[in-house]
Amino acid sequence: SQTIHQWPVTLVQPVGSPLSLECTVEGTSNPNLYWYRQAAGRGLQLLFYSVGIGQISSEVPQNLSASRPQDRQFILSSKKLLLSDSGFYLCAWAMGETQYFGPGTRLLVL
């Protein structure tokens, strides 16, 4: 069966510091991969999606970037964090219509 992992689980970072969040999927090949951000008490904002290695589409222009160096690995990065980057970051995978979410990374930028 398929599983999705995210790390770290929680992260506290100062403003202006870099960021790297990792997502890996097991038990499937060539999935579509997604990064979402959820601000406290809010909905799901799609940040990036990928249909294959090296293929990244950005939904919201901002100071974040994403990369897919391997088939089942999706990385979210930033060179300089902003206070507004705080939130719950969710990775998701799909092999068809249904998206399945990872456990999430809670990021607090101070």
Partner 1 sequence: GENVEQHPSTLSVQEGDSAVIKCTYSDSASNYFPWYKQELGKRPQLIIDIRSNVGEKKDQRIAVTLNKTAKHFSLHITETQPEDSAVYFCAASKDGGFKTIFGAGTRLFVKA
Alpha carbons within 13 angstroms on the beta-carbon side of residue 19 total 31
The piece of 13-21, 22-30, 46-54, 68-76 that touches partner 1 (CB under 8 A) is 46-54
Say how far apart CA 23 and CA 100 lie, in whole Å.
12
CB of 15 to partner 1, least distance (A): 24
Asked if 100 interacts with partner 1 (CB under 8 A), we say: yes
Asked if 53 interacts with partner 1 (CB under 8 A), we say: no
CB of 54 to partner 1, least distance (A): 17
Tokens at 6, concatenated? 């995210």
Which among 110, 81, 108, 99 has a CA at the least distance from the CA of 23? 99
Chosen residue from 44, 65, 67, 71 binding partner 1 by CB under 8 A: 44
